[in-house]
Each structure stands twice: as C-alpha cells, then as structure tokens.
C-alpha cells in the first residue's frame, strides 16, 4: 500500500465564498466539485441521507456538513481568508498546548494516515483533523447540555443548521 494519498482538485476560493455566502440547494455536480467527490458518489450519499431534492439538487446543509469535513479545516479557513467570517466563529481554529504521552501522539499521527486512506469522503491525513473528529464525537449530551443558552457553542457544534436550507 503506497504511503501517499492522491487528492482531488480543490475548489476555488470564489466557489467556496459563493457557497457559504449564498445558502441554498446545489446541483449535484456543483456540490460534487466543491467536495472533490465523483458526482455518482454524491448522488448516492444525498439519496441515502434524504438530502436529494427535486431537479437533482442537494440540500445546502448536507453539502455544508460534508464540505467542512471533506477538506482540511486549516486549508479551508486559509482559502476563505476574511470570508471565513461566513462560518460560525467557534468553527475557526485555536491552538492548544496540551502535553500528551508520546505514544498517543505517534499513534494518532499513524491512525490519521491509516484511517483516512480508507475513506473517500475526506481529503488529507492531517492529525489535527483526525483528533478533532474524535473529540467532537466524544462530546456527550451531559456536556453539551451545560452549553444551553451559549449560541456561539451551538452555532459551531450543530453546524450547519438545517433551517437554513430551502426545501424542495
């Protein structure tokens, strides 16, 4: 098995800004281009998730969810530049200075490569993306309940909100 992963063509800055600035259903092929996915895969996933709308369009919230998970967050935010303000503030990155046992860091770096190699819905092998996904999934209901009333937390935690989508 090779130690490299071929990445699809990344979407342009203009396409990303247009997507986040103008929420609304997207044609299947346009959404696939944003995600770097083959359009048949996007069509299958949209059908499976109940996000396929009339006219072969995909619900914006589903595309937004896939998009922020498909590309490395650092690249996405850097590409958006000032337009990253279109995203919830707490989706932006912050540096942490934790000290962890070396074996955990080594294992997470290796696991990021091994697990991402098996997935065709995400691009890249950044350990930060891998660990962020693990930590997001580890936030339990009791913890999230302590943030009730904290809109900035839930804007990021629940992003994207389905009420932004124009349905059928």
pLDDT per residue as tens digits for the range 126-149: 888 889 999 999 999 999 999 999
CA–CA distances in Å: residue 51 to residues 17, 27, 123:
22, 12, 22
The pTM score is: 0.82
> CA torsion sign, 45 to 26 to 134 to 113?
positive
Question: Looking at the DSSP assignment, which residues form a beta bridge with residue 75?
Answer: none
| Tally of CB atoms within 10 A around 101 | 8
- pLDDT for residue 116: 75
Taking all residues of the chain, what is their mean pLDDT, rounded to a whole number? 88
| Tally of CB atoms within 10 A around 66 | 22
Residue 107: pLDDT over 90: yes
CA–CA distances in Å: residue 130 to residues 96, 123, 136, 145:
15, 11, 10, 24
Angle at 163 between CA 157 and CA 38, to 5 degrees: 75
- pLDDT for residue 3: 53
Question: Looking at the DSSP assignment, which residues form a beta bridge with residue 27?
Answer: 57
Q: Residue 120: CB partners within 8 Å, gap ≥ 6?
A: 37, 41
Question: What is the C-alpha to C-alpha distance for residues 150 and 158, in angstroms, rounded to an integer?
Answer: 12
How far is it between the farthest Cα atoms of the chain? 52
């Amino acid at each position: 098995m090779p130690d490299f992963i071929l990445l699809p063509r990344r979407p342009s800055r203009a396409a990303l800004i247009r997507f986040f600035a103008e929420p609304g259903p997207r044609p299947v092929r346009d959404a696939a281009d944003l995600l770097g996915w083959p359009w048949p895969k996007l069509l299958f996933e949209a059908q499976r998730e109940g996000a396929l709308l009339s006219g072969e369009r995909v619900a914006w919230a589903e595309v937004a969810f896939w998009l922020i998970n498909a590309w490395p967050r650092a690249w996405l935010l850097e590409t958006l530049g000032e337009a990253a303000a279109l995203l919830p503030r707490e989706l932006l990155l912050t540096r942490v200075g934790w000290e962890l046992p070396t074996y955990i860091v080594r294992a997470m770096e290796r696991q990021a490569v091994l697990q991402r190699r098996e997935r065709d819905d995400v691009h890249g092998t950044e350990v930060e993306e891998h660990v962020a996904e693990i930590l997001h999934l580890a936030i339990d209901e009791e913890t999230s309940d302590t943030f009730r009333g904290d809109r900035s937390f839930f804007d990021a935690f629940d992003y994207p909100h389905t009420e932004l989508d124009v349905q059928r």
